[in-house]
Structure 1
């Protein structure tokens, strides 16, 4: 997994690359303009900070998540190798926000407001997602943020548990997607039944008018 972000107003000319969730004990190594963060227990890379990244990738006209190209990932891997790090960045181009269909929604056994859903996301794949949306129910078309998605507020979706029940993704609201005029209250974004096909990448451009009066 590879999630990258760039926020020059807050962090300067630094690209943040995230490969895995944070762990309790971490090791930090810096070689020249690259810092590697790894898991002490496993040695696996958790992420990198690439300082003065414009010297490698050129000017990045982005403020937030960066969707790197194959060539840009190759350049970063060459930089890692040149600074005596393992070139372990792998580009992930699979869509992270997709249209889903809630097949079932059942009460969480340890909560009075959570529901455990089985949600289809296309190509025969069904995710178990725990949702706290007050309008959650079966037989609705929704937007699913898959594992590895970065929300507009910077939150990254990882596998997790809610009160002991596994949850692999998030059914999101229009507010969480920062869609114009979305209701500023909890509740999943329920799409019209024929809006898009299950499994298709969610069309953010089209969605800009979803909440027009």
Structure 2
């Protein structure tokens, strides 16, 4: 499994949360051993999350909310889960989630008067199909993409899904959704200057303003 890591000691307690997606809460079951709780989807036995309690007995994650773990911390997490008696292989997702994309194709959604289906390149090797409802979306734009697994400033996590029956993997963002109204505060998606290279991180984009 490939998981996102979260830590909020004040809000939740000394628990490292690993999440792997979303499912109907009625389908969830829990299995606890030692200080580890595994959350499963009982319809398919898929691991949806793992909670490691008293994580500071091993290390204290840096930051609050979505956190990135260094190599030593990732190894510790794997060993904690294994030592608790769970035979689960995990991978902590360290990939940059907010990047510059290029809209290679943009066509109207057949079942909507405002949605468009885009093919948006986010790296040399990856193109994401993203359904977008912004009025100013069009082919040939450089945009800011929240890839699957991105954690928005609101706390919402972007997971793959469907809009009006069409698969969508990611979100093309506005500055308002990113909390960057001081850079630009126009409605619609953030139209980036063309000089930004595909795959450039949001942090690098912000530094240029």
* TM-score (norm: length of structure 1): 0.88
Provide the secondary structure at the position in 1 that maps to 2:16. strand
Distance in 2 (CA, whole Å) between partners of 1:185 and 1:86 is: 49
Distance in 1 (CA, whole Å) between partners of 2:112 and 2:95 is: 33
Determine the structure 1 residue equivalent to 2:33.
Answer: 31
Assess, with a 3 A threshold, how the Cα gap between structure 1 residues 206 and 129 changes in structure 2: closer, same or farther.
Answer: closer
Shift of 1:141: 0.3
Shift of 1:5: 0.9
Distance in 2 (CA, whole Å) between partners of 1:118 and 1:60 is: 36
Is 1:3 the counterpart of 2:23? The answer is no
Determine the structure 2 residue equivalent to 1:175.
Answer: 176
RMSD: 1.9
Shift of 1:164: 0.8
Aligned length: 207
Distance in 1 (CA, whole Å) between partners of 2:119 and 2:72 is: 37
Check the 8 A contact 1:30/1:36 in 2, yes or no: yes
- Report runs of 4+ in structure 1 exceeding 3 Å deviation: 182-186
Gaps of 5+ in 2: none
* TM-score (norm: length of structure 2): 0.90
Provide the secondary structure at the position in 2 that maps to 1:128. strand
Shift of 1:27: 1.2
Determine the structure 2 residue equivalent to 1:68.
Answer: 69
Provide the secondary structure at the position in 2 that maps to 1:10. coil
Determine the structure 2 residue equivalent to 1:197.
Answer: 197
Shift of 1:72: 0.9
